[in-house]
Amino acid sequence: MSAHRLGLLLLALVGVSLIAGCGNRREPDHLAFNMGDGLDMTKDGKLEVSFQIALPSGIGGGDGTWGGGGAAHETYELTSAKGINIYDAIQHAQKELSRELFPGHREVILIGQPLAEHGIAHLLDEFVRNPRSELRSKLLVVKDAEAKDVLAQKAIFEPFMSMGLRRQQDILRLRHVYFHDFMSDTLTEGLDPYVPAIGLTAASKPYYYGSAVFNKAMGLKTVGFLDANETAYANWITGKQAGYECSLPIGGGNGDNISVTFNSLRKSIRTRKAQDRIMVDLHLSGIGAIVENNSTLNPTRAPDRRTIEQAINRKTKREIETLIAKVQREYRADIFGFGEAYHRQHPLQWKKVSGKWNDRFPELRVAVQVELTCERNSGLVTSPIDVN
Amino acid sequence: MDWTKLAHKKLHKPAALRQAEAEREDAPLANDLAANRRAFEHAFRDCSDLVFRELAIENHTKLLLIYIDGMIDVELITVNVLSPLIYKGLPQGLGAIDNIAQMCEQQLFSVLQMRKSSNLGELVTGILKGNLAILADGEATACLAGVKQVATRGIEESTSEPALRGPKESFTENLRTNTVLLRAKFATTRLKIEEMTVGSLTRTDVVIAYLDGIVDPDLLEEVRARVARIQVEGVLDSGYIEEAIEDTHYSPFPQMMSSERPDVVAAGLMEGKVAIIADGTPFALVVPMTFWSGLQAPDDYYERFLYVALNRSIRYFFAAFSVLLPSFYIALTNFHQELIPGKLMITIAALRERAPFPTVIEVLMMEIMFEGLREAGLRLPKPIGPLVSVVGALVIGEAAVSAGIVSSPIVIVVSAAGIASFIIPRYRFGIPLRMLRFPLLVLSGMFGLFGLTTGVVAILIHLVQLRPFGMPYLSPLAPAAGQWLKDWWIRWPQRLTKRSEPEPENRGGEA
């Protein structure tokens, strides 16, 4: 028994000493929660990383006794540091901070346009290798501005911009824009990544611009941007978007117009080889509801509905063809995943083209077929409102 | 240590006393009444509650009644023993009564239990157990009339195991009342109630109850053997017996269930368990116990099965919750901050800004404070009880936080875990769960989730190898026992659970 007691006592002593000393135990108040990273390239070509750090005492919780009554507190701190790579920059930033930088709750990773156009192939490793790093951060490219300019802005609702940007992505019904999705797209054969892009308005307010196209063959650098509408089409083709809104003038030239919102978007990509060329049959479909109708067309009548659907299909098809042609010719990056589809559907033939897909992609013949239907009516109104 | 020394000393009584007791065990009665009286007076010297009542019948036969004041039914003696002897004299027409033994045999006293003895030791024990001894002059045999009546509590509602639905009665301190409560539930001769005596000083009657044909004979034999082996001076509660017969002292988990509800004991018997009921305590022991029976309430079998499914799920969840929550909180906030949703993490960090102690120390402090409060509330006289909870809630909940000594999430965590441990229907089964919190706290404070997992695995290993009375503690879950699993989490309706019926030949004795 005494041996038992001695053992217990020793165990307790070891326990107490370890509690007091503690190896990798870190109290939450010893951490600097890094909510957003901004990656920029300085004018002299160096990497600059900005960290948006949440200030817990400013964001609150509890009755705000800490710091005393009523006054608005700072909710975040923006720290920037230069370095030859990400880790180096973190080490430099850490020198200014009394708490350990903790990337486990990082909401967004922003990349400034200059850096994005320079190429980010050499910046990915740290994000994946660091076990504390949050791979569900959303990756965004900042168009015509630096990442830290965006992070420095005050968010309207959220305590800081990182959280606001993340929320916005959710509102836009965008899917698969996490950092690990970007990594997965990057590492998939026959697919080039494109990520959401934001711009700054004249009043320096960030807004959703569209997306930035990365070309893997050119060192994972941004080769161009797609606007919001083009991005919606691209997302539709890649299955990254749940819904799509479409507004268009309809009927005569008397200002008639109609807006339709589409849900349950579907796509199918069939690839085949015809004589030495790879053909792609792209079939896009979706079911929509009319959300605004300022025309004389009555969608409850079949002929009118067909008129609306045809107009929408025609417009969508034309725009998608334009988009595909632009991406093929200008960006030469297969963001639509045609290569991946070819890889899956013709694994043996893929081997012949696998190494040089970025050269084959512009030569693809893509046949687009759009089949949108307005089956649902939205709201109480079914027929057009007749003012007269 | 001191206590064991003291007990040790007690066992070594003066040799003379021991010898006198041993001699008395076998001493026969004398023929002479005066000598017998002296013998009893010697045995019971300094016992002011012993009453000697001498009387003469028809002026020649001298009788001596000996009993302990307050332990016998005075009215019964007056009406059924004294009045026939004194006023009516010996019954006429029966011929001469030669001796008192004959009187017993001829059933001249209208008392239900009657036996005779000529052994001084047996008579002394009989008197101590509440019998009336009747001695006659010139005879070496005496009668013992069972007229025991001890002041006792009535049958009241169970205070330690309240149930919303089901029988409200509970055991009392009187063994006979308790066996009656049990017997009243089974109108079958298969309910066996074996009696044993435990304790060299208290000579407490202990009964072993079981249902013949359902009980496992090996288990029964084991219980008999263990109870017979008990060497103690006194048994004041069934806890003495529990401690004497439990498999191991070094386990936080109770190895037998103690209940003051006859229906719980009866249900245990029907599951083939053995009940041990000691005189002088309302708490019966049911062996063997499993882990899950500690989490099951009597209502579970009286209420509709869907309600029970909900209640049990809640209970099982909170049982795990009460053990793991504080250490889980520490592991997450101190080691794995990325596992907490971002906003919550910042809130927790904000609330910790002022906290002077590490989280582990905070939780330990509050846990100890909570246990103190619990113990204080338990021991205090009822009128003061609420005061403790008010002061405790104010001191711990409010003041400590606003003074900045502990952070408020800790209060939430500790009190939530504390409340969770009170959800366990058997109060004493919540104690091991609360105890185990502390080692888990230390482990998770040292090694995070890894330490916590190690601790939980260690507990599981202990539970799996714990086999009170040969029954695996985690059964029917581990080892999985098919049919009985239907009463493990969700108590399926009786119609859906076909329990193995006992063999037909064992049912012969049924009325």
Tell me: do A211 and A264 sit in the same domain: no
Is residue A57 one of the residues assigned to a domain?
A: yes
CB atoms within 10 A of CB A224: 17
pLDDT at residue B504, rounded to an integer: 42
Residues A143 and A153 in one domain: yes
Give the residue from A24, A26, A29 with the most B CB atoms within 10 Å of its CB, the best one to mutate. Answer: A29
pLDDT at B13: 57
Q: Nearest CB to A61: which of B335, B351, B446?
A: B351
Distance of residue B439 Cα from the nearest chain A Cα, in angstroms: 9
Report how far residue B16's alpha carbon sits from residue A34's, in angstroms, rounded to the nearest whole number: 84
For residue A374, the enclosing domain spans 243-388
Nearest to A283 by CA among A366, A372, A370, A373: A370
Chains A, B: CB contacts within 8 A come to 93
List of chain B residues whose C-beta atoms are within 8 Å of the C-beta of residue A36: none
What mean pLDDT do residues A137-160 have? 90
Q: Is residue B468 a contact partner of residue B247, using CB atoms and an 8 Å limit?
A: yes
**Cα distance from B288 to chain A (closest Cα, Å)?**
26
* pLDDT score at A277: 86
Q: Provide mean pLDDT across the span A335-358.
A: 91
Instruction: Please state the rounded mean pLDDT for residues A240-247.
Output: 84
Cα diameter, chain A: 101
Cis peptide before B476 (omega within 30 of 0): yes
CB-nearest to A105 from B338, B404, B446 is B338
pLDDT surpasses 80 at A68 = no
CB A345 within 8 A of CB A190: no
Residues of A in contact with B413 (CB under 8 A): none
pLDDT value of position B30: 82
Q: Give the separation between CA B131 and CA B146, rounded to whole angstroms.
A: 5
Mutate which: A19, A65, A106, vs B, most B CBs within 10 A: A19
Encode pLDDT of B370-394 as tens digits: 888 888 888 888 788 778 777 877 7
Closest approach of A141 to chain B, Cα-based (Å) = 23
Q: What is the DSSP string of B62-76?
A: EEEEEEETTTB-HHH
A104 with B361: Cβ contact below 8 A: no
Chain A CB contacts of B443 below 8 Å: 15
**Min CA distance, B440 vs chain A (Å)?**
11
- How many domains does chain A fold into? 2
Which of A192, A227, A242 terminates a domain? The answer is: A242
- pLDDT at residue A27 is higher than 70: yes
For residue A20, is it within any domain? Answer: no
Does residue A140 form part of some domain?
Answer: yes
Looking at residue B150, its pLDDT comes to 79
Residue A365 maps to which CATH number?
Answer: 3.30.300.210
- Examine residue A48 and state whether it is found in any structural domain, yes or no: yes
For residue B375, the model assigns a pLDDT of 86
Tell me what pLDDT residue B507 has: 39
pLDDT at A198: 93
In A, minimum Cα distance to B447 occurs at A25
Is it the case that residue A1 has pLDDT exceeding 60?
A: no
Give me the residue spans of the domains in chain B: 14-146, 175-289, 303-470
Question: Looking at the structure, do residues A180 and A296 belong to the same domain, yes or no?
Answer: no
Which amino acid type is present at position A247? Answer: S
User: Which of B333, B346, B351 has the CB atom closest to A33's CB atom?
Assistant: B346
Q: Is the pLDDT of residue A115 over 70?
A: yes
Q: Which of A146-160, A270-284, A373-387 has the lowest mean pLDDT?
A: A373-387
pLDDT of the residue at B88: 64
pLDDT at A17: 56
Q: Are residues A251 and A355 in the same domain?
A: yes
Identify the contact set of chain B against chain A, taking CB-CB distances under 8 A. 250, 333-335, 337-338, 342, 345-355, 358-361, 402, 404, 408, 442-443, 445-446, 448
**Does residue A117 lie within any of the structural domains?**
yes
Residue A198 makes CB contacts below 8 A (sequence gap 6+) with A110, A140, A141, A142, A143, A150, A165, A206, A207, A208, A209
pLDDT in tens, A251-308: 766 788 889 888 888 999 999 988 888 999 999 999 988 888 888 888 888 888 898 8
Closest chain B residue to A159 measured between Cα atoms?
B343
Q: Which residues of B259-272 are buried (b: 16+ CB within 10 A; e: fewer)?
A: bbbbbbbbbbbebb
CA–CA min distance A25, chain B (Å) = 5
Do A190 and A287 lie in one domain? The reply is no
**Is residue A91 located within the same domain as residue A192?**
yes
Whether residue A136 is found in the same domain as residue A95: yes
Backbone angles phi, psi at B209, to 5 degrees: -110, 140
Residue A213 has pLDDT above 90, yes or no: yes
Residue A152 resides in a domain: yes
Subunit contact A25:B337, Cβ cutoff 8 A = no
Residues of B whose CB is below 8 A from A22: 358, 445-446
In B, minimum Cα distance to A106 occurs at B342
Contacts of B345 in chain A (CB under 8 A): 28, 33, 105
**Are residues A251 and A223 part of one domain?**
no
Q: Say what the pLDDT of residue B211 is.
A: 95
Determine the average pLDDT of the residues in A203-222.
91
- Can you list the residues of chain B whose pLDDT is less than 70? 1-14, 58-60, 87-110, 497-511
**What residues does A34 pair with on adjacent strands?**
A53
For residue A356, what pLDDT band results from cuts at 50, 70 and 90? confident
Residues A128, A42 share a domain: yes
Hey, are the CB atoms on B354 and A66 less than 8 Å from each other?
yes
What mean pLDDT is reported for chain A? 86
- Range list of β-strands (E), chain A: 31-41, 47-54, 76-83, 100-102, 108-112, 138-143, 194-200, 206-215, 221-227, 244-249, 257-274, 277-294, 365-377
What are the φ and ψ backbone dihedral angles of A135, each rounded to 5 degrees? -85, -5
Measure the CA angle with vertex B372, ends B368 and B376; round to 5°. 175
A60: which chain B residues are within 8 Å (Cβ-Cβ)? 347, 350
Q: Is residue A349 part of a domain?
A: yes
Distance separating the N- and C-terminal Cα atoms of chain A? 100
3 state SS of A175:
coil
Residues A302, A372: one domain? yes
Q: Which of A186, A215, A242 is the last residue of a domain?
A: A242
Residues A278 and A366 in one domain: yes
Domain membership of residue A8 (yes or no) is no
Residues A175 and A214 in one domain: yes
- Of A347 and A21, more confident: A347
* Residues of A within an 8 Å Cβ radius of B: 4, 12, 15-16, 18-19, 22, 24-29, 31, 33, 35, 54, 56-57, 59-62, 65-66, 102, 104-105, 107, 132, 134, 163
Coil/strand/helix, residue B173: coil
